[in-house]
Structure 1
Amino acid sequence: MNAHATGTFDITSWNELATDEKEGATFGRNHITKAFHGDLVGTSTTEILTVITPDGPAAYVGVEHVAGTLHGRKGTFALQHSAASHNGEQWMKWQIVPTSGTGELTGLTGQGTIRVEDGHHYVLDYTLPDA
């Protein structure tokens, strides 16, 4: 089954775990929790590594564990994040970690994007074996 999921999420907590000031950049490690709404309903925990330059946010990478219901199917899965911004342009991408799906989401694969505009919006294009 190929599907397309959309919705929003709220960041429910953001904890800075460590920072390291270097010449020209600040590196950080953060723990984030989220609540998802829309085609995906659930919660997640995320660990991200960031780099911030004097000109603003520059990039982050991370991994996220999601627990919830995706189009009526319940389970968990992991996401790999990559993101950057430059000259006012920003991109944030997700990749579902293969073999990470559990429960009714076993076999889940796919990728998506995040857009920050009047809140956090997600798109997730995925494939899931037929039930």
Structure 2
Amino acid sequence: MKTLTHEQYLALLYSQNVERQDYAVICPMCGTVQSARLLIQAGVAPDFDGVLRYLGFSCVGRFTGKGSPSVEEGKNHGCDWTLGGLLHCHVMVLEDPTGVKRPVFEPATPEQARELAARMGVIYE
């Protein structure tokens, strides 16, 4: 289990060197790389602020009618997983200054973030 502060987590997202709607994370169950832009496209909310509460916590497939991770793994379109359930299958947590820990999806690599953005029509130089 990796434990990070909020600042360390943000540093990993910032290192992707993309616009905030293209910050990418990876579902720990199905492996789908996803971003705020993908959640917006899926109809979760109309803008970044609206999807922020889901990014890194609920897989995009939860909003697009996908099934369980065991069925959807490797298909790269998401699954119905969320970190708010009874099972704890995450690999990363954020720890606040008081010691409270909250599970999160692991940030994608800069290459993965840019690849996802490119598939969605956004090219970074």
Superposed pair shares fold, TM > 0.5: no
TM-score by length of 2: 0.29
TM-score by length of 1: 0.28
| Larger proportion of strand | 1
Asked which structure has the greater RCO (Cα within 8 Å, sep 6+), the reply is: 2
